Structure 1
Amino acid sequence: MNALTPFVAHSDRTLLRKNGTVGILERLCVVIEPTDTQKDNAKDKYEAVGNWLADAPQYLFSAARISPQGSFALGTATKPLNGLEYDVDLLCRFTAFAGGLGPVDLKRVLGDRLRENGTYRFILQEMPRCWRLNFAGEFHMDITPSVPNAVCRNGGELVPDKKLRAWKPTNPSGYLKLFEKRAALTPIMRLRKALAAMDSRGTVDPFPEHIGFKGILRRIVQLLKRHRDIYFETADESLRPISVILTTLAARAYEFCVGKYVFDSEFDVMLAVVSSMPYYIESYTQYGKPQWYVANETTEGENFAEKWNLHPERAAAFFEWHRQILADVEHLATLEGSDQVTKSLAQAFGSQPVNQVVAAMAEEINMARQHRMLSVAPKIGIVTGASAVPRATPVRSNTFYGRK
């Protein structure tokens, strides 16, 4: 891997501008992820399906373990564009599997049990490796059967492949644990030291707030997925890089960057992660053709980029998209003024959610002004909560007559 350019310290003005952009991006992530109501709905459907499978009288289901996987389990789900449905993924592990059924037969057993339900039989659809329940107008739920992979030291699984009529290795639980471990890593920031040095009597948190409870890695993944969806909105859907590739590359890049560098802001962490992602794509030439490999590190034999080798245009589409998102993130770092930032964000992540965020922030500023909680601090600009900022000058309430 080539060495990354060290992230050098910038001026206070640049740091605070970047931090403000991160605050907008954090709010944007809240807008583009499923609402609490949608999460609760998915949870209720998941529990109902899980209980139906767990209560089956067949011996195979007696020790089955049903668990969520994918973006809902990782905490990186985003709203699909144009009213499309959410994708909720489940894994049904047949831990009591005795080796008597092959991949096709095991999948059939799962499908038969789902058809026994008077509701599920009418919304059931067979997919290459799973069964899909289409909950109209809400989301679809993909339920994949699996058996333990005896040769995987990390407790991996084998799932059926209809086309190949064979088992394919995977390890969603191991993948989740590794992702959570990486997401828990915390970058070292110069920014907090810089803010502390600005005034010896206290520190100032810029308005709006920093990255929230989700953590930086999960927010980066959500932004990657959203940018991808906007970029490929009018393109062939098959060209869109699948989410697990974006998630894997971002997680590996995040782990490396957090362990290697000290950053000025969360924005610089995102920039470092985005720029580093291609380093974790393996490639080689076979019979004169490029072969691509994005490994599932938690099991052997699973290549998330396997379809790139059958459809090289998908690899080309990924690199074209990556050049665009890197350019968009780099451009954001150069912008000054809310109009420029809003326009750039809308082009990259969609106008509707960005305008929603900007409108909400404007309303908060207006409310803070009315309650005399809006101030102008030296070297910082508009902040809320003047009492926390030494030498901050209150901003007068705004009326039609220009006076209180």
Structure 2
Amino acid sequence: MSRFESILTNIVAHSALPLDAYETAVDRYQGFGKWLERDDSPLKDNDIHAFPQGSFALGTAVSPVNPADSYDLDFAFKFRKDVSIDTHTQKQIKLMLERELELYRLHTGIAEPLEEKHRCWRLLYPSFHLDIVPCIPAHEKQRSLLVASMESIGTATEEAQSIASLAVLITDNESATFEQIDRNWLVSNPDGYARWFAARSQNLNSVYSAEAFVEAVPYFSQSTNLQRVIQLLKRHRDVMFKLEPDSKPISVIITTIAAQAYQPAQSLEQTLEMAMAGLRSFIGSNVHVLRNPVDPNENFADRWDDPRYADLQLKQNFHNWVIQLGKDIDWACPVTTDAKKRYLHRYLGGCHVPNHSPQLHR
């Protein structure tokens, strides 16, 4: 193992979410799941399917740069029975989940009140929170459109159909029809994206169960090189934007570009080189669009051109981050001095080291 590979391995170990934090998140997620199984639950007849999404589902979660900061577990809360776009408004479904969460909060003595977000409810614990997204299965027409869209970018029909079957419709209180019976809901497919990512990552340990009432949070005891490199990239981003977290590149863009660039590799160093090539190619094209591989009609970079986020300079900050990441890696590799080792740990890993390496960061 090269010195650079060894340092990268150590940084991943430092950056990944600690096992105790993972276990705490899973315990609280499962606690709500057990609450739903009680006999007097008003949702007992709705055939609920709860499943994790985001970094916990992908195996790419990282610990906060500042230990005092909060981390989160996102999960979807799918109503599979007696609820549809023809019988319920988005508002009604969101309120159904709110009532159950409020009962759970009071029963367990959670002090902080529920916090409503545009598309989810947030349940707040000390140093941690659960974001719960209410949703329902996508209807047949929407699934057919997703299949056609994925086929248009080269996805095989059988694979597209399998992925589209997992799609859901989510609530959004900013929607003009939030309080109306309407068939035009936002489409999302976090479960489909997790399966796409697992295939790209070649992680054979990923297990999904569409039949489970509350699906288990995956535990990746042996992460792939792709998962670990994405953790490295996210940690570098978090260090660079520690004082401006709202302006930082979002994880799904980093994850998608790295996964699309990935080919089976024997080392973290090789995988990092592929990810860097993908990131540099993307900013070199100067585009404003990154298609969701499981819903090509969705643009992960849609906020880059949204006037509401103009002051955050999201596109420019993404480009700045990729350029800075490349400078940091290019300067520090090969690792020939202790100063370079400290530099890597400081700006790629966020570790506390003496501050006498070159100041490339803004």
Q: Which TM class, normalised by the smaller chain length?
A: 0.7 to 0.9
AA of the residue aligned to 2:347: Q
Provide the aligned C-alpha RMSD in A.
2.6
Indicate the residue corresponding to 1:276 in structure 2: 278
Report what 1:305 is aligned to.
301
Larger relative CO (CA 8 A, sep 6+): 1 or 2? 2
Cα distance in 1 for partners of 2:126, 2:344 equals 34
Aligned pair partner of 1:90 in 53, 64, 75: 75
In the alignment, is the contact (CA less than 8 A) between 2:65 and 2:350 conserved in 1? Answer: no
Contact 2:328–2:347 (8 Å) recurs in 1: no
Partner of 1:381: none
CA distance in 2, matches of 1:242, 1:94: 28
Distance 1:265 1:73, change over 3 A: closer
With normalisation by structure 2, the TM-score equals 0.75
Aligned partner letter, 2:46: S
Q: Does the 8 Å CA contact 2:11/2:345 hold for their aligned counterparts? A: no
Once residues 159 and 60 of structure 1 are traced to their aligned partners in structure 2, the CA distance between those partners, rounded to angstroms, is: 20
Partners of 2:269 and 2:344 in 1: CA distance: 15
| 2: CA distance, partners of 1:170 / 1:127 | 16
The aligned residue for residue 217 of structure 1 is 226
- Among 282, 289, 295, the alignment partner of 1:293 is 289
Question: What is the alpha-carbon distance in structure 2 between the residues aligned to residue 242 and residue 321 of structure 1?
Answer: 11
* Alignment partner of 1:131 out of 98, 106, 121: 121
Q: Which residue number corresponds to residue 246 of structure 2?
A: 238
Q: Unaligned stretches of 5+ in structure 1?
A: 1-15, 187-211, 284-289, 356-404
After superposition, what is the alpha-carbon deviation per residue over 1:250-304, rounded to whole angstroms, capped at 9, x for unaligned? 111114xx4xxxx795413312212212545798xxxxxx972222211253322
Deviations 1:289-327 (A, max 9, x none): x97222221125332211112135111110111111112
Q: Is the 8 A contact 2:3 2:335 kept in 1?
A: no
CA distance in 1, matches of 2:318, 2:225: 23
Cα distance per residue 1:176-211 (max 9 Å; x no partner):
11111111179xxxxxxxxxxxxxxxxxxxxxxxxx
Structure-2 separation of matches of 1:106 and 1:269: 43
Query: What is the one-letter code of the residue matched to 1:133?
Result: L
Task: Measure, in 1, the Cα distance between the counterparts of 2:99 and 2:249.
Answer: 33
Q: 1:167: how far off?
A: 2.2
- Relative to structure 1, is the Cα distance of residues 59 and 78 closer, same or farther in structure 2, using a 3 angstrom cutoff? closer
1:160 aligns with 2:147: no
Give per-residue Cα distances to partners, 1:232-253, cap 9 Å, x unaligned: 1123x22111111111111111
The equivalent residue for 2:136 is 147
Task: Give SS of 2:292's match.
Answer: coil
Q: Does 1:226 align with 2:235?
A: yes
Once structures 1 and 2 are overlaid, which stretch shifts more, 339-348 or 320-329?
Answer: 339-348
Which has the greater radius of gyration? Answer: 1
Distance across 2 between alignment mates of 1:278 and 1:224: 13
CA contact (8 A) 1:129 1:162 kept: yes
- Residue 241 of structure 1 aligns to a residue whose secondary structure is coil
Deviations 1:335-365 (A, max 9, x none): 313332223431333233x79xxxxxxxxxx
* C-alpha separation in 1, matches of 2:346 and 2:284: 33
1:64 has 2:48 as partner: yes
**Partner secondary structure for residue 132 of structure 1:** strand
Residue 334 of structure 1, CA deviation: 3.2
1:44 and 1:143, CA in 2 relative to 1: closer, same or farther beyond 3 A?
same
The answer on whether the counterparts of 2:77 and 2:135 sit within 8 Å (CA) in structure 1 is: yes
Q: Report the Cα distance in structure 2 between the residues aligned to 1:169 and 1:120, rounded to whole angstroms.
A: 32
Q: Secondary structure at the match of 2:28?
A: helix
Instruction: Answer whether contact 2:25 2:72 (CA < 8 A) is retained.
Output: no
Structure-2 change in CA distance of 1:120 and 1:168 (3 Å): farther
Identity of aligned residues (%): 29
The match for 2:213 is none
CA distances 1:94-131 after superposition (whole Å, capped 9, x unpaired): 11123311212211111111112213584411111000
Give the aligned length.
298
Alignment partner of 2:325: what SS? helix
Kindly indicate which of the two structures has a greater share of residues assigned to strand. Answer: 1
Give the SS at the match of 1:302: strand
Bigger shift: residues 75-84 or 268-277: 268-277
Greater shift after overlay, 144-153 or 114-123? 114-123
Asked if structure 2 preserves the Cα contact closer than 8 Å seen for 1:271 and 1:326, the reply is no
Q: Which residue does the alignment assign to 1:198? A: none
